[in-house]
Amino acid sequence: MSGSFVVLMFLVIMVPVFAISMFMPYWTRRTESFGVSIPERVYNTSELRALRKSYLFRVSAISLIVTVLFLAIGVGGMDSDEAFSWLFGSTLVLYLVGSFLIYLQFHKKMKAMKKQQQWQKDQPQRTVVDTSFREEKLTYSNGWFLVPFILSIVTFIVTFNFYDQIPDRIPMNYNFEGDVTNWVDKTYRSVMLMPAMQLFMTVLFLFVNVVIARAKQQVSAENPEESKRQNIVFRRRWSLFIIFGSVGMVALFGFAQASFIFDVPGELMLYVPIIFGGLITIASVLLAFTTGQGGSRVHVTQEVDGKVIDRDDDRYWKLGQFYFNKNDPAIFLEKRFGVGWTVNLARPLAWVIFALIIGIALLLPMLLGA
């Protein structure tokens, strides 16, 4: 495996991961800091700005160390795909564990600072619910998912029409040189794997779009109107991203299916998914940077009241990241440290949904003989 390919994989996957980790404290809501709820008025105080800069410096340092180690080992060339997979996987795990440990340190500091400063003492706390929020157009129409659905149906039809042209053995895996490493015998079941995955991904992305629309409403008590407008923009932007992502993903599976029928170079089968994954990753980073969690980086001109603050619900957020509240009927809600949505782990239905998604993804290849 060439050193240039190692560098490409690093740039496409690891660099965006570094960027997300380093700048995450700048993308969260201004009512939260390192997984701890705070009044919005203290977000830009010198103490909290210094804390965010310190976090950025430490995560940047570990990112640099991981980069040097990865490139020092990988650029010289790897003996096998297995060796590269081990290097890449261990590097990623090492980085994620290291950055999470750094986060825990700052989460602990933030809790101690909040207790010492007593920002919320003697201030009325309130949970704001805007009854007109659900009347807004929070996401783009689910009808847009007809596009990937139609692409999936076209793949089914083309596969049946060209079934006789498909070779008796179908390539399932490629190594990093573009050579086929795994084959399956051609059957009507095995050739249906890619179209079935297209339909599964379409339904999954449609489900995510529904989640974006129905996730728990989170409106700031300090500035409810601004918060509402920001959250609407936040949901609509990610809804659009999901729609484009679904079309791209289904098209990628269609490209893989076309390689069974037509002569597609192995190198193309290797680099097209990498380039697509890189574009999706870069787009998500840019969206997070320009929008922030809950629309926190969307500029809306309005002053913070500060007389009433959000209700303190830190006790329901384990380590500032895992939400567990039996009294909350909501299943989906915004992440506290991060961009996007998470689940209420106290709701059994959340675990059922997890099990269904993972189960279907694992069972499809088995049922279709791949």
Average pLDDT over residues 262-278: 82
295: region left, alpha or beta (phi > 0 left; psi from -120 to 50 alpha): left
Q: How confident is the model at residue 60 (pLDDT cuts 50, 70, 90)?
A: very high
CA–CA separation, 251 vs 139, rounded Å? 23
Higher pLDDT, 218 or 60: 60
Stretch (H or E) spanning 32: strand 32-33
- For residues 107 and 319, is the Cβ–Cβ distance under 8 A? yes
Q: How confident is the model at residue 35 (pLDDT cuts 50, 70, 90)?
A: very high
Per-residue pLDDT, 112: 93
Which residue blocks in 188-307 are alpha helix, DSSP H? 193-214, 224-261, 266-291
CA–CA separation, 132 vs 217, rounded Å? 11
CA–CA separation, 103 vs 118, rounded Å? 22
Higher pLDDT, 179 or 24: 24
Q: How far from the centroid of its chain's Cα atoms is residue 280's Cα?
A: 10
Whether pLDDT at 239 is above 90: yes
- For residues 190 and 308, is the Cβ–Cβ distance under 8 A? no
Per-residue pLDDT, 84: 75
Provide the 3-class DSSP secondary structure of residue 73: helix
- For residues 38 and 114, is the Cβ–Cβ distance under 8 A? yes
Q: What would the two tokens of residue 14 be? A: 């690891």
Q: What percent of the chain has pLDDT over 70?
A: 87
Q: What is the pLDDT of residues 141-196, one digit of tens each?
A: 999 999 999 999 999 999 988 888 888 887 776 666 666 677 778 888 888 888 99
Give the CA count within 13 Å in the CB-facing half-sphere of 102: 23
Q: How confident is the model at residue 125 (pLDDT cuts 50, 70, 90)?
A: low
